[in-house]
Structure 1
């Protein structure tokens, strides 16, 4: 084969492909079709050149052109920062908003259980004695409960709290593979522990210390746990009631949505961990510490309600764009 003649005959095609690749963000429909066709044609030219020529420079230039064209045809065109922005402005809040009845129900049930257990423990000395010996309870209410928040440096404590809470939330969501039946048990144990601690503190006149240490970080932290529980139970219920869609399709969508919440809660729990390490044990007045917790909770709920409702109005589900298990149907 005459390589010089081959190059001369096909160079206009290569130049045209190069031009289309350079203007790939502003191509119209016909030019996009032309780009795909020329990419396939030039890839064939490259194969011929590799088998028939030893001109390394020309082969290298043609290889670069084909690689750039392949990226233009098959590569992602959305900048990474736009994906991050979409996640925090659409995907995470809309999934949280759509699951609001589930996690609000988990919140109310946990509050009721925690309150009932706390009152029961506080008003029954026999129950207190059954929980632990009097000297251990005294150590807890007078030292251990408050010392827990200041026993370690703030930085390492924040990291430890963040990891523990993120792991708990992921466990709650992961348990949805058992149709969510384990999630109420996790919530029960969590409410039981809070209720027992609160009841013991109240029985010894330490209610102010209990609420002053729990509320600053606890509102946002527990909201994150309840949100994880709500999304997990919603995913489990999808097995029973997939709605008008096929069960596999519904489960795939809800599963991806649950993973969005799991990722979003990492950021939420990071903020909660900072509050628990930096605000809860600080020397600020109790009203100031609780006020910071209330502000953080209010900002999060506003974020979910405003952005989530806006996304629902646009029929967003929080699922990834171009989901692999969905195909257009007539």
Structure 2
């Protein structure tokens, strides 16, 4: 191999890769255009090949060392830099992206909340008036336990890790069902919201009739401050998908599904995090008999206020102030 001719032919690529890497090192990967990023990847592969050839033909320690340094810089920016960008994207979504999508889709979440709470009030009213309705909504075993003056949450004690995991899985399954129910034009989503609303309304009546409302809500509030909003958000996500199917508006139906489906998917990412945290609280904190009920109420209130504050936050650098 003619060393001088080979260096002359390849040197332009080395210099161009060095220039792109210097730009990234100073201003970050985002400073490159899409074409420059593709060029960066192509040059990195080319220079890696040059390094292998230089080692094979023993063209000189200094040149090999320079090519090694160049390829190491390229690897760091392309692979480790991309991972850094991914983590940065995750961080940005947690800090700003999820609150932004919650605000953008709040009308759908409000509708899902209204369905749940409305059916809860209906169940509360009918359960007070008609014991038969109570037996239709609540398992007989649960009714007998409460009428004996006990709540059922004590079964969690001693198996907290298992119970917490099962609670997470169940809540995530219900939420995913509510989201996926959007493909039935929202009918299955509405069914899940209505059914869970009826159930919580009937149980609220049951514990109220038997003088156990205070400890019951002390148990529910700490994790419910996250769990219930997560279910409402999941219902809203399902209604978003239903909107794309039933009322695509100015979009073609397939484009509407892409548009609203993307928003629903963004909600799902945040919903999972909320349900995981809620599951941990429900498994380890809510049923703990050592913690006073008053502290559980306080904790639930603080968690809910923090969640609302978080979901209302705006990134003033990206979002215009109304």
Query: Where do 1:121-160 residues align within 5 Å?
Result: 121-128=127-134, 137-142=143-148, 145-148=151-154, 150-160=156-166
The answer for the alignment partner of 1:288 in structure 2 is 295
1:304 corresponds to 2:303: no
Change (3 A) 1:175 1:148: farther
Instruction: Name the stretch that deviates more: 35-44 or 143-152.
Output: 35-44
The answer for the alignment partner of 1:12 in structure 2 is 11
Unaligned runs of 5+ in 2: none
The answer for the alignment partner of 2:112 in structure 1 is 106
The answer for the alignment partner of 1:313 in structure 2 is 320
The answer for the alignment partner of 1:176 in structure 2 is 182
CA offsets 1:101-143 (integer angstroms, 9 cap, x no match):
1112221231121122123213323444566797762224447
1:232 corresponds to 2:238: yes
Q: d(CA) in 2 for partners of 1:266 and 1:39?
A: 38
Instruction: Name the stretch that deviates more: 209-218 or 9-18.
Output: 9-18
1:275 corresponds to 2:281: yes
2:186 aligns to what SS in structure 1? coil
Q: d(CA) in 1 for partners of 2:295 and 2:41?
A: 66
The answer for the alignment partner of 2:98 in structure 1 is 92
1:116 corresponds to 2:122: yes
8 Å Cα contact 2:138/2:202 also seen in 1: no
1:313 aligns to what SS in structure 2? coil
Of structures 1 and 2, the one with the larger relative CO (CA 8 A, separation 6+) is 1
The answer for the alignment partner of 2:172 in structure 1 is 166
Change (3 A) 1:8 1:130: closer
Q: What RMSD over aligned residues (CA atoms) do the two structures have, in Å?
A: 4.1
- 1:252 CA displacement: 1.6
The answer for the alignment partner of 2:2 in structure 1 is 3
Unaligned runs of 5+ in 1: 316-330
Q: d(CA) in 2 for partners of 1:126 and 1:37?
A: 71
- Aligned residue-pair number: 310
8 Å Cα contact 1:94/1:309 also seen in 2: no
Instruction: Name the stretch that deviates more: 4-13 or 71-80.
Output: 71-80
The answer for the alignment partner of 1:211 in structure 2 is 217
1:182 aligns to what SS in structure 2? helix
Instruction: Name the stretch that deviates more: 261-270 or 205-214.
Output: 205-214
1:242 to 239, 248, 264: 248
Q: d(CA) in 1 for partners of 2:181 and 2:310?
A: 27
8 Å Cα contact 1:13/1:38 also seen in 2: no
1:281 aligns to what SS in structure 2? coil
Instruction: Name the stretch that deviates more: 234-243 or 92-101.
Output: 234-243
Q: d(CA) in 2 for partners of 1:296 and 1:167?
A: 23
TM-score (normalizing by structure 2) = 0.77
Instruction: Name the stretch that deviates more: 69-78 or 294-303.
Output: 69-78
